């Protein structure tokens, strides 16, 4: 409850008066909604009878919003003054920018980047995501090294601003994903449709992180690996999906073995569950491929220019290169 009220109090202090705040009650079971209704009467509450995940909850809230911009924000965040205005200025500067995210720092260690968003998201060929300031378990101290506004591949679902017309044209978040990587999927579709995604480090958000699903949760492992594989099989063209499938499957099996050796059988089982789901849901893979064909305006060759061209796991573990600046040595374009 304190997490939510801290977020709303911060929003009241940092957002302009004309910003409409919509709170999605995603099947909550405590008294938090009644407390918010009493303490923050200006907040508009939209309720779902069941938990429909990040994707479904955000879609529900977006359906009720009438503004030209949509801000998707986790409830475990607090914010610096003027951060929304800075994001809005970026979108207003170029109608080909679909989304912009702030710099996201850790709430408990404010001089370090946050795991979930850092300073803008990227992705390797096999759909392993990483961010400026965090690769796998290595989280960097924020020394201003990524304070330049830059084009990125994906904006973190922790906090990002997007154009409502583009969000609806892209079909919103795919609710099949439920939670995890839905923002990567959305921004990948934006790239295929010819749009760009950027980060504005001058806007700052602090994120508690892992409040809903901690890293120890097998469900988190399942969703991350299932959704990553699903994006690989559907967001590339058929040829690229086919050739990238086999090295990704090999790494998936290696990860499964690592979980067993680490005595985490539930997480190992989550890998098997994710692969079984993919085998038993070919109709969803087919549906996603059809929908992407209708959105696509540029080729994979163009999108691949925005994707890290190597296999991140190999670079990170075998190359012993830990930080973003050591791994992603190709210049990141400005905007």
Rounded distance between C-alpha atoms, residue 81 and residue 95, angstroms: 25
Burial of 284 (0-12, 13-18, 19+ CB in 10 A): middle
Whether 276 is covered by a domain: the verdict is yes
Whether 77 is covered by a domain: the verdict is no
Whether 25 is covered by a domain: the verdict is no
Q: In which residue are the tokens 């005595």 written?
A: 263
Instruction: Give how far the C-alpha of residue 122 lies from the chain's centroid of Cα atoms, to the nearest Å.
Output: 10
Whether 261 is covered by a domain: the verdict is yes
Whether 10 is covered by a domain: the verdict is no
Using CA atoms, how far residue 202 sits from 37, 146, 165, in Å, is 32, 10, 25
Rounded distance between C-alpha atoms, residue 193 and residue 185, angstroms: 12
Whether 287 is covered by a domain: the verdict is yes
Count of structural domains within the chain: 1
Instruction: Find, among 83, 128, 121, 94, the residue nearest to 199 by Cα.
Output: 121
Q: Greater confidence, 315 or 188?
A: 188
Does residue 11 carry a pLDDT above 70? yes
- Tens digits of residue pLDDT in 27-41: 887 888 888 899 999
Whether 321 is covered by a domain: the verdict is no
Q: In which residue are the tokens 């670079």 written?
A: 315
In this prediction, residue 331 has a pLDDT band, given cuts at 50, 70 and 90, of low
**Considering the chain, what is the average pLDDT of its residues?**
94
Whether 24 is covered by a domain: the verdict is no
**Residue 225 sits in which domain range?**
218-298
Instruction: For residues 50-73, give the mean pLDDT.
Output: 96
Tally of helices (H runs) and strands (E runs) in the chain? 13, 12
Give the pairing of strands 44-48 and 121-123: unpaired
């Amino acid at each position: 409850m304190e997490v939510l009220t801290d977020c709303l109090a911060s929003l009241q202090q940092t957002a302009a008066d004309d910003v409409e705040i919509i709170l999605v009650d995603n099947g909550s079971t405590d008294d938090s909604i009644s407390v918010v209704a009493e303490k923050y009467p200006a907040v508009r509450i939209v309720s779902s009878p069941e938990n429909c995940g990040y994707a479904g909850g955000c879609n529900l809230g977006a359906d009720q919003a009438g503004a030209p911009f949509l801000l998707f924000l986790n409830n475990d965040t607090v914010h610096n003054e003027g951060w929304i205005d800075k994001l809005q200025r970026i979108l207003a500067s170029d109608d080909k920018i679909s989304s912009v995210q702030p710099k996201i720092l850790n709430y408990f260690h404010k001089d370090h980047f946050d795991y979930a968003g850092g300073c803008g998201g990227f992705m390797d060929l096999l759909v392993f995501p990483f961010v400026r300031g965090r690769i796998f378990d290595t989280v960097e101290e924020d020394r201003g090294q990524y304070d330049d506004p830059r084009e990125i591949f994906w904006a973190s679902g922790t906090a990002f601003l997007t154009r409502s017309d583009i969000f609806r044209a892209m079909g919103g978040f795919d609710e099949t994903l439920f939670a995890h990587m839905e923002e990567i999927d959305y921004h990948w579709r934006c790239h295929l449709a010819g749009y760009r995604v950027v980060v504005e480090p001058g806007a700052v958000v602090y994120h508690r992180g892992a409040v809903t699903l901690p890293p120890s949760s097998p469900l988190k492992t399942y969703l991350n690996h299932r959704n990553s594989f699903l994006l690989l099989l559907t967001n590339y063209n058929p040829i690229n999906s086919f050739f990238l499938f086999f090295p990704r499957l090999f790494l998936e099996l290696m990860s499964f073995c690592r979980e067993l050796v680490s005595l985490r059988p539930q997480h190992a089982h989550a890998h098997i569950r994710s692969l079984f789901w993919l085998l038993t849901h070919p109709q969803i893979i087919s549906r996603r491929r059809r929908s992407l064909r209708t959105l696509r305006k540029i080729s994979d060759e163009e999108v691949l220019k925005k994707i890290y061209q190597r296999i991140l796991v190999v670079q990170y573990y075998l190359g012993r290169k830990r930080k973003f600046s050591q791994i992603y040595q190709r210049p990141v374009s400005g905007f």
